[in-house]
Amino acid sequence: MAVIRIEDFFYAYPPLLPEGQPIEVLHGVNLSVERGEFLAIMGPTGVGKTTLCLSMNGLVPQATGGVARGHVVVLGHDTRTTPVAELATRVGIVYQDPESQLFCPTVEEEVAFGPENLGLDPAEIAERVSWALQVVGMEAYRQRSPSHLSGGQKQRLAIAASLAMLPKVLILDEPTAGLDPVGQAEVFGVIERLCRERRMTIVMVSQDAERIARFADRLAIMWQGRIVRVDAPPRIFTDQAFLEEVGLAAPQVSELAVALNRRWGTGYRFTLLEEAEEALRRDLRGGQISS
Amino acid sequence: MNIQPCIRTEGLIYRYEPGYPALNGIDLEIPEHAYLGIIGQNGSGKTTLVKHFNGLLKPTAGEVWVYGRATSSRPVSELARTVGYVFQNPDHQIFGATTREEISFGPRNLGLSEAEVEERTEEALAAFDLEAYAELPPAVLGFGLRRKVSVAAVYAMRPPILILDEPTSGLDWRSARELMALVDRLHAQGHTIILISHDMRLIAQHTQQTLVLQEGRVLLYGSTREVFQQHEVLQQAQITPPQINQLASRLADCGLPQDVLTVAEFCQAYNRLKEARE
């Protein structure tokens, strides 16, 4: 069953000036995400990825205004008509810049903020806070001020705050952009656990081809306000002509596969380091034995 | 090597506040015409270090020399002629009403004649392919273009040393590739380039020397090729070399060289191994 179903969705932001034109961003997006799936979205800057994310929790168009046509349906609820507060218990969202979504004096209060707003009883809130902090590995930081955390810790805290609402779907908009390598590894560690152990439905915008290849079930490519292709990551990452056209990078081992295929007529489609290692070792060793 | 260092530091210590120093004893010589990458986790001291090169920060202890002269006695305005610094966030440095004005600001501040200011501005607009945007306010340009404007504005001051602090963060792959092609060209024209980045693939592909910082100290410093062979030392700083370099390392037993930095280099080595057998 599709958890998210987007059909012919058009969206334009309101004009910046009163007499101006609406700013068209999405030009007919079609996409569906299955339960328990990890779908990655890649695309150059300015093609509408963030706008699409915001349409899935109703902020577009409910908070942004503008003109919307078509449908974004999440767990059976149309996000144009279902109140944002109600959607927030079903769809968690984590933004690119964690600073913009953290505002409480302590880590614990940050995570409790959402459940408190639902009017839950204190025991239930405490339980959710403990659980969410444990999932992201931040129990030790309960009393810390969010402003004293590293980038990776801030982003894990933002994920915990979303999880405390017990959403069925988690949307992450470039959650590792701007993080250092340690922070990136921390955040991907949490995301991997959520999808592998908890079968959470995850939609993640990212430019990290190597990690998308490792974790995502499917990859959607966004280009000029549309989803132009949805496919298994290895099929997209070894289609060099397509990647060149949309201006995106593949993992280095996928670029290598394309180059070796051109020279040796092989049919390699590596996306993971281990795959490339195994195939190339077999190739080089096989030759040594036969010679 | 008989190349004079353009930047030298000795016993450089810097504290933002009392306590653990952000830089904890840096001894460094950067040769003229280097293409240097600086890597390390956040908080390792990368930005703090480069801010000493253009005098934005003065050492708490130790000394920094730029072309043989200590920065402690030189005003930032004078060092700006020698060391250009492109901020991490272009919006921290952009304020001109138009792109042309933005780019002419630096040369004008150097006290050059109007004719010279104009010549440099036009040259920078052309070099960065920004002529079409000359009359537009930088604020209405996309992020990638604003980044280009911020680099062009520093370039127009023609400093022999150019520092770029995470120039490709926030850029998509195509814009990043275009910007790095421009940086490569500046290096080829004779500039010394100092590049801070978290993108190991970019560092491996473009730089010639790499400096690895960890907790305010130098963990590794050498040619980029040598540095990326030190997998175990890099691991101490939790830095993972580019995927293609890791692949070569895993296939060492099959005869792949260990100093591979790019996909093209891997292909060459692999093809040689295959051809030798046929």
pLDDT one-digit tens code per residue, A9-31: 999 999 878 888 898 999 999 99
pLDDT one-digit tens code per residue, A124-177: 999 999 999 999 999 999 999 999 898 899 999 999 999 999 999 999 999 998
Q: Which of B42, B179, B271 to mutate against chain A (most A CBs within 10 Å)? A: B42
Q: Calculate the CA B165 to chain-centre distance.
A: 6
| A250 min Cα distance to partner chain B (Å) | 10
| B30 min Cα distance to partner chain A (Å) | 25
| A188 min Cα distance to partner chain B (Å) | 15
- The pLDDT, as a whole number, for residue A119 is 93
Domains of chain A with bracketed CATH: 1-90+169-183+190-237 (3.40.50.300), 104-166 (no CATH), 251-291 (no CATH)
Nearest to B243 among A179, A252, A259 (CB): A252
pLDDT at A89 over 70: yes
- Measured between beta carbons, the chain B residues lying within 8 angstroms of A264 are 274
Nearest CA in chain A to B272: A284
Nearest to A151 among B42, B173, B271 (CB): B42
- The pLDDT, as a whole number, for residue B1 is 47
- The pLDDT, as a whole number, for residue B175 is 87
Q: Which of B243, B250, B265 to mutate against chain A (most A CBs within 10 Å)? A: B243
The ipTM estimated for the assembled molecules is 0.90
Q: Which of A255, A271, A272 to mutate against chain B (most B CBs within 10 Å)? A: A255
| B238 min Cα distance to partner chain A (Å) | 7
- Measured between beta carbons, the chain B residues lying within 8 angstroms of A177 are 169-170
pLDDT one-digit tens code per residue, A237-249: 999 999 999 999 9
Nearest CA in chain B to A273: B247
CB contact under 8 A, B238 and A185: yes
Query: Contact, A173 vs A49, CB < 8 A?
Result: yes
For range B5-33, the mean pLDDT = 95
Q: Read off the pLDDT band of A287 (50, 70, 90).
A: low
Nearest CA in chain B to A290: B277
- The pLDDT, as a whole number, for residue A160 is 96
For range B79-100, the mean pLDDT = 87
pLDDT at A1 over 80: no
**DSSP assignment string, chain B:** --PPEEEEEEEEEE-SSSSS-SEEEEEEEEETT-EEEEE--TTSSHHHHHHHHTTSS--SEEEEEETTEEGGGS-HHHHTTTEEEE-SSGGGT---SSHHHHHHHHHHHTT--HHHHHHHHHHHHHHTT-GGGTTS-GGGS-HHHHHHHHHHHHHTT--SEEEEESTTTT--HHHHHHHHHHHHHHHHTT-EEEEE-S-HHHHHHH-SEEEEEETTEEEEEEEHHHHTT-HHHHHHTT-PPPHHHHHHHHTGGGT--TT--SHHHHHHHHHHHHHHH-
Nearest to B246 among A178, A259, A273 (CB): A273
- Measured between beta carbons, the chain A residues lying within 8 angstroms of B247 are 252-253, 256, 273, 276-277, 280
| B274 min Cα distance to partner chain A (Å) | 7
CB contact under 8 A, B270 and A280: yes
Nearest CA in chain B to A44: B172
| B2 min Cα distance to partner chain A (Å) | 36
CB contact under 8 A, B172 and A207: yes
Residue A149: count other Cβ atoms within 10 Å of its Cβ.
18
Percent of chain B with pLDDT over 70: 99
Nearest CA in chain B to A45: B172
On whether any CB of chain A is under 8 Å from the CB of B231, the answer is no
